[in-house]
């Protein structure tokens, strides 16, 4: 009987010990989902071996995560899209070799990077800031590979045009900044916004869980089942920044920035890879044809059953395509050197 009681006591103690983290998790999930989301990103950065660092330059601070050191393969700089952050790339980094030197930076004003009321958040203004970041961490000691998605693709393309000597190659994923021949669902939203003098809500700046769900439907062809608490947490994380996002949004759709990538395509000399989801409802896939026509040597990879959120919907495929392109270009450069 005494032994049985000991076993019972052991289970009670073990159950109580386990109950504490379980209850903490449930409380976070139900009461503070935004905290749980931050913990989630922290956990995945740690699991993938990414470290967060800050780079200061003249009173301006960039926040970035990195893994690996510069080696035989080119370093990779990753630029996220509008209202996102450096952790956008975690799903892709997961499938990239650990020996690669990878840098994921928070774009100007986003997440941990300095935000000021006087900064220029146009595409050209962001390009200047990213160049400042690159010089601060000495990433341009030798040519690197640049990856940009959506707004980050627009910035990345203009960066390549302005600083051609710094890049060995580049990947643009569903880049903004192109006059695509076919209209999308988002283009229709933009027209409605313009007609309302921007009084309507912006689909990419949700303020409620329902609007957040609508944004996911707009940006993703794959239908993810996201619990209401997580949707609320995502809204809670974004709400304090929505005024800033509105400012950036107005900048990037202005005449100065809206087609910045297309206006700079003729200046791009780095080998270019374009990855696009065929079902993109934000920036139509016909933009890939526009780029290919202006830059005939570029490689175009179109993904079936995929929308605008390529890095979330097809992370493994995206990582594989990027790595293949980097190796292909590096081998081509090696062959050129041998022949010369």
Is 221 tagged catalytic? Answer: no
Let me know: does 278 contact 303? Beta carbons within 8 Å.
Answer: yes
How many H-runs (helices) and E-runs (strands) does the chain carry?
Answer: 13, 8
> Which position among 83, 284, 308, 309 bears the catalytic label?
308
Is 280 tagged catalytic? Answer: yes
Gyration radius of the chain's alpha carbons = 22
> Which position among 119, 176, 280, 284 bears the catalytic label?
280
Let me know: does 273 contact 115? Beta carbons within 8 Å.
Answer: no
List all residues 6 or more positions away from 153 whose beta carbon is below 8 Å from its beta carbon.
79, 81, 172, 173, 174, 175, 176, 177, 261
| Helix (H), strand (E) at residue 247 | helix 242-252
Is 150 tagged catalytic? Answer: yes
Residue 103 CA to residue 72 CA, distance in Å, equals 16
Let me know: does 180 contact 286? Beta carbons within 8 Å.
Answer: yes
**CA atoms within a 13 Å half-sphere pointing along the CA-CB vector of 318:** 28
Taking residue 165's Cβ as centre, other Cβ atoms within 10 Å add up to 9
Give 117-143 as a DSSP string.
SSS--SHHHHHHHHHHHHHHTTGGGS-
Give 42-68 as a DSSP string.
HHHHHHHT-EEEEEEETTEEEEEEEES
**Cα-based distances in Å from 279 to 174, 181, 183, 187:** 11, 15, 12, 14
Residue 248 CA to residue 202 CA, distance in Å, equals 12
Which region, left, alpha or beta, applies to residue 58 given φ > 0 means left and ψ of -120 to 50 means alpha?
Answer: left
Residue 113 CA to residue 127 CA, distance in Å, equals 14
> Which position among 75, 150, 289, 309 bears the catalytic label?
150
Write out the catalytic residue numbers. Answer: 150, 280, 308
């Amino acid at each position: 009987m005494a032994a049985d009681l000991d076993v019972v006591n052991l289970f009670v103690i073990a159950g109580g010990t386990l109950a504490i983290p379980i209850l903490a998790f449930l409380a976070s999930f139900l009461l503070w989902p935004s905290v749980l989301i931050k913990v989630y990103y922290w956990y995945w950065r740690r699991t993938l071996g990414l470290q967060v660092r800050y780079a200061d330059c003249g009173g301006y601070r960039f926040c970035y995560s990195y893994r690996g050191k510069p080696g035989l393969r080119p370093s990779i700089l990753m630029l996220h899209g509008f209202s996102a952050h450096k952790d956008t790339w975690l799903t892709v980094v997961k499938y990239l070799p650990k020996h690669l030197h990878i840098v994921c930076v928070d774009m100007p004003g986003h997440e941990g990077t300095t935000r000021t009321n006087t900064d220029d958040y146009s595409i050209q203004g962001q390009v200047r800031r990213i160049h400042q970041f690159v010089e601060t961490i000495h990433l341009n000691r030798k040519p690197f590979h640049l990856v940009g998605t959506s707004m980050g693709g627009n910035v990345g393309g203009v960066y390549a045009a302005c600083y051609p000597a710094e890049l060995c190659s580049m990947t643009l994923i569903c880049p903004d900044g192109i006059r695509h021949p076919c209209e999308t669902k988002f283009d229709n939203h933009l027209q409605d916004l313009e007609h309302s003098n921007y009084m309507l809500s912006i689909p990419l700046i949700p303020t409620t869980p329902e609007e957040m769900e609508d944004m996911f439907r707009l940006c993703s062809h794959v239908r993810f089942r996201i619990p209401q608490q997580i949707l609320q947490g995502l809204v809670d994380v974004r709400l304090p920044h929505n005024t800033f996002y509105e400012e950036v949004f107005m900048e990037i759709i202005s005449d100065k920035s809206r087609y910045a990538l297309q206006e700079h395509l003729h200046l791009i000399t780095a080998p270019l890879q374009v990855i696009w989801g065929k079902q993109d409802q934000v920036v139509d896939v016909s933009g890939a044809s526009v780029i290919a026509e202006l830059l005939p040597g570029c490689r175009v990879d179109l993904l079936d059953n995929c929308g605008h959120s390529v890095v979330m919907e097809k992370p493994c495929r995206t990582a594989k395509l990027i790595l293949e392109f980097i190796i292909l270009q590096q081998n081509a450069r090696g062959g050129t050197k041998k022949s010369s």
